Chain A
Amino acid sequence: MNTHSIPAVSASNVEMQFPGLLAVKDANFELDNGRFLTILGPSGSGKTTLLRMIAGFLKPTRGEIFIKGKEVSAVAPNKRSVGMVFQKLALFPHMTAAQNVAFPLKMRRFDAKKIPARVSEFLNLVRLDGLEDRRMNELSGGQQQRVAIARALVFEPDLLLLDEPLAALDRKLREEMQLEFRRIQKELGVTTINVTHDQREALVVSDQIIVMDHGEIQQDASPTQMYRTPHNPFVANFIGVTNLFVGQLAAVSGEAVDVTIGALTLSGILRSSPETAVLGAQVRCAVRAEQIRISAALDALGELDAAFQGTVKDVIFEGERLLYELSIPELGDDPVRIFHHDQNDFATHDVGETVHIGWMNRDMHIFVAP
């Protein structure tokens, strides 16, 4: 058999039923060797549960998990070649940094003579040289992250699992560590599954993203696919800031569809499966905040497919961009949110001002309501 065709990890119909709660429903996915997968979802969506089943701490109540093609339900966690970085790191407080990193090597019976060299090689990889004799309470948050990642990788596992280890860090350090994880992962080429609720992190570091909600996989795609072609309103809304309008399907020709929203007829791209696209079906229409243009003059929006007039309700300064909230009665009662990046145009529009907005048809994603 060609080994390249065997995924590093795969899940088939995996389910985790806790008493009174189905935490993971019918999960199916494959992850190729050396790739970086992020499981993205809100808190409580079952990400940790899925990860713990892969690590072996929980037994799926249904379905199978394969690591390197081998079904692992009978393999104890300490017999799996899986390194894990925990949400709260779970470093051993009574050991030094070097002892923490040496621990997996001792437990996995590495040649004792080679352990010190290996430990310093990995402390060097995570840039902790000189801190090997520190205890955990003598290290900063970022340094502890580095010890945890070195401990998870030092025995060269087949698979690295990261359970939101960055969630507790402040934003700057978190973004720095995200890139650091990515660098180390690339350097070692280790297959990685990362869990997060931070959509930015998922887009930045991953080769593949799985979005979860209520224990169910919503979409499994590359970051660009996930961003450009969301499968359902949840994904559209979870990745980026998205405006959702309710309407009805008026015409279908392949992917291009027309919808009616109130008295308006607009065009967009169908993202649900074609067989659900019956005329008159209720649909949700999603347009990302950054794909809407805003201008005081209607002429400036000439090349756009759809244009509306509205009133500025709020302007929020977010540093590198402005967030406008507009009231557009034609599109419903919810405020329409728009990101605006043009430096020269900063705060052109004040609260109460009448403005024009518009977007391209290809940027409106249409989902048939289930």
Chain B
Amino acid sequence: MNRPRSQQIVYWSLVILTLLTLSAPTFVVLGASFTSGNIIQFPPDGFSLKWYAAIIGEQNLRDAFGRSLIVATICVLVSLPTGTLAGIALSKFRIRGANAIQIYLLLPFTIPLIGSGIGLMLAFGDAGILGNLWPIGIATAVINLPFMIWAVSSSAVGLDPDLELAAQSCGAGPVQTFFSVTLPAVAPGVITGSLLMFILSLNEFLVSLLLVDARIVTLPVQIYNSIRSIITPDLAAVSVVFIVVAMLAIAALDKLVGLEIFLKSK
């Protein structure tokens, strides 16, 4: 690219400004987590790992983290088959009531989570299953399912319908065709969607708050409980743990399907 120098300066300033704005919260919380003082602050007061030691030592946090992992796993187990099938069906067939489905897919942006949360709380309460962890996993799957469906259908639109016909002319029945041709073709979407669901479920606060009781608090709720008393640097350390989990997920994504595919998927 041969742009005039002045244009290049403007261009690069914009890029750097954007990167700084996007990453600033991460750097601030990262810095704050390494403070050696007792107040959460940035720039940090000295350097130490004592707040990391503190969160590892804290039984409540560890348990809450474990429960959040269970919830996120259940969420993926529920949304992976349903979201995959729905995503493929949505892009492959002209379905009656497609409009209603489109509206459902916009729900995460139109209905406030507090609304869905209260609805789920009432439903689960009636069913008498509140107080268990698995309904929370199902709840986070239900409210975030559109993200899974989007991820899958965006890779399914690129699927050549002849591919499935080719499998049939090779002698594959419907089930064999699905597992040997359709599923591998949408795999990038399935993997992307699953990791997204995992992170969304891990971070889900509001709906969890409505569905947990004191015995089964998840990590975001646990953090909220601590904020209500006093904000200490261990929260920054916990946030960093969240960030690390998310980065691990992205690294896994890159390894499994390549980030280019993820970034290119429309």
Partner of A94 from the list B169, B171, B172, B185 (CB cut-off 8 Å) is B185
Binary B-proximity of A118-136 (CB < 8 A = 1, otherwise 0): 0000000000000000000
Query: Hey, which chain A residues are within 8 Å of B176, CB to CB?
Result: 107
What's the Cα separation between A82 and B168 when bound, in Å?
10
Taking the nearest CB of chain B, how far is it from the CB of A77, in angstroms? 4
Q: Is B160 an interface residue (CB 8 A)?
A: yes
Question: How many residues does chain A have at the interface if contact means C-beta atoms less than 8 Å apart?
Answer: 25
What's the Cα separation between A104 and B173 when bound, in Å?
11
Given contacts A93-B185, A94-B184, A107-B176, contact A78 B171 (CB under 8 A): yes
Q: Is B166 an interface residue (CB 8 A)?
A: yes
Binary A-proximity of B26-46 (CB < 8 A = 1, otherwise 0): 000000000000000000000
Partner of A103 from the list B162, B170, B173 (CB cut-off 8 Å) is B170
Q: Is A57 an interface residue (CB 8 A)?
A: yes
Taking the nearest CB of chain A, how far is it from the CB of B155, in angstroms? 12
Stretch of A83-91, A200-208, A307-315 at the chain-chain interface: A83-91
Are A92 and B168 in contact (CB-based, < 8 A)? no
Query: Hey, which chain B residues are within 8 Å of A82, CB to CB?
Result: 169
Query: Hey, which chain A residues are within 8 Å of B167, CB to CB?
Result: 92, 103, 107
Query: Hey, which chain A residues are within 8 Å of B184, CB to CB?
Result: 92, 94
Are B165 and A90 in contact (CB-based, < 8 A)? yes
Q: Is A339 an interface residue (CB 8 A)?
A: no
Given contacts A88-B162, A90-B162, contact A108 B171 (CB under 8 A): yes
Query: Hey, which chain A residues are within 8 Å of B169, CB to CB?
Result: 55, 77-78, 80, 82-84, 152
Binary A-proximity of B155-183 (CB < 8 A = 1, otherwise 0): 00000101101111111110010001100
What's the Cα separation between A155 and B169 when bound, in Å?
11
**Besides the known contacts A57-B165, A87-B162, A103-B180, 7 further A-B residue pairs in the complex with CB atoms under 8 A apart:** A55-B165, A55-B169, A57-B168, A78-B171, A91-B166, A92-B163, A155-B170
A selection of 26 A-B contacts at a CB cut-off of 8 Å is: A55-B165, A57-B165, A57-B168, A77-B168, A77-B169, A78-B168, A78-B169, A78-B172, A80-B169, A86-B166, A87-B162, A88-B160, A90-B162, A92-B166, A92-B180, A92-B184, A94-B185, A103-B167, A103-B172, A104-B171, A107-B167, A107-B172, A107-B176, A108-B171, A152-B169, A155-B171
